[in-house]
Amino acid sequence: MRLLMSSFFRNCKFKPLYQSPKLRTFGSLSEDKSLTQSKVYGVVAADPSYVEVCPTWPVGEEPELRASVLRDMCVIPNFITEQEEAVLLAELEPVLKRMRYEFDHWDNAIQGYRETERSQWRPENARVLERVRTAAFDAPDAAHHRDTLPAAHVLDLAAQGYIRPHVDAVRFCGPVIAGLCLLSDAVMRLEHSARPHLAVSALLERRCLYIMRGVARYDMTHCVLGAEHSAWRGARVPRGRRLAVITRQRPLPQHTG
């Protein structure tokens, strides 16, 4: 499995781990009854309050880019239930427990991980993955719509693990990436590839779905903050072991030649 991740990250663009000032006050947004969510294509729409601009991004700088990133980085809280999470874990844990966490990645881009790919799922979990495809890949602006890779990428990040800023290689995945987050809350940071002070943070609560497309997919690096830097709105976000089940579109034809 080390070869799979090494091949993927070797074709990614990495940046030094960005450390921003802490943000304001952390609260459980999913419990805020004032938040409203609409229905889009039969599923709960993204909640914009889970993505916010970092204080390093001046208000008047690149307003169109700011709007595009906030549009293209989406978080849907509570996308799955506790029971659905448990059933997913019951299928994945027997596979993952036979693997060892890796802490010696070839360029230190990712630390404390193990991974696998899975294309065949139990019926109840296949239905969850179908909901992911409906939410992320049926939107009118999702190029190629349902043309997703046949296998989901399962990335198990240890409690002390982290992923440095990178842009996923276009030769391995297409315009839209969607990840189910299991076991632990986390904070994802997106930074402009050339001007890292233009950054946004996303709170990825346990059992949420995040969707990256457009500007967020191609123009911004993304990373999962390690436990030491995991904070949202001024308060620490405890990081435990985190499992992500990631669905990707096929690479575009012009990127596979």
pLDDT digits (tens, 9 = 90+) for 181-196: 999 999 999 999 899 9
User: Environment class of residue 243 by beta-carbon count within 10 Å: exposed (0-12), middle (13-18) or buried (19+)?
Assistant: buried
Q: Are strands 209-213 and 176-182 parallel, antiparallel or unpaired?
A: antiparallel
Which residues of the chain carry a pLDDT beneath 50? 1-3, 6-11, 13-43, 142-144
Query: What predicted TM-score, i.e. pTM, was given to this entire model?
Result: 0.82
Question: Cβ(200)–Cβ(212) under 8 Å?
Answer: no
**Distance separating alpha carbons of residues 170 and 102, to the nearest angstrom:** 25
Residue 146 is given by DSSP the state: T
**Distance separating alpha carbons of residues 251 and 170, to the nearest angstrom:** 6
| The predicted structure's pLDDT at residue 104 | 73
| The predicted structure's pLDDT at residue 27 | 41
Q: Which long-range contacts (CB under 8 A, 24 or more apart) does 138-146 make?
A: 138/41, 139/40, 139/41, 141/213, 141/214, 142/175, 142/176, 142/213, 142/249, 143/174, 143/175, 143/176, 143/249, 143/252, 144/174, 144/175, 144/249, 144/250, 144/252
Which tens digits make up the pLDDT trace of 1-32?
Answer: 444 554 444 445 444 433 333 333 344 444 33
In degrees to the nearest 10, what's the CA dihedral of 26, 223, 205, 67? 70
> What percent of the chain stands above pLDDT 90?
63
Question: Cβ(187)–Cβ(202) under 8 Å?
Answer: yes
| The predicted structure's pLDDT at residue 146 | 66
Q: Where are the beta strands (DSSP E) in 168-208?
A: 176-182, 186-192, 199-204
One-letter identity of residue 102? E
Angle ∠(194,197,199) on CA atoms, nearest 5: 95
| The predicted structure's pLDDT at residue 140 | 53
| The predicted structure's pLDDT at residue 98 | 96
| Domain spans, the chain | 2-25+40-255
One-letter identity of residue 254? Q
One-letter identity of residue 163? I
| The predicted structure's pLDDT at residue 171 | 79
**Fold entry, domain 2-25+40-255:** Jelly Rolls (2.60.120)
**Distance separating alpha carbons of residues 177 and 148, to the nearest angstrom:** 9
| The predicted structure's pLDDT at residue 20 | 36
| The predicted structure's pLDDT at residue 19 | 37
| The predicted structure's pLDDT at residue 31 | 39
Rg (CA), the chain: 17
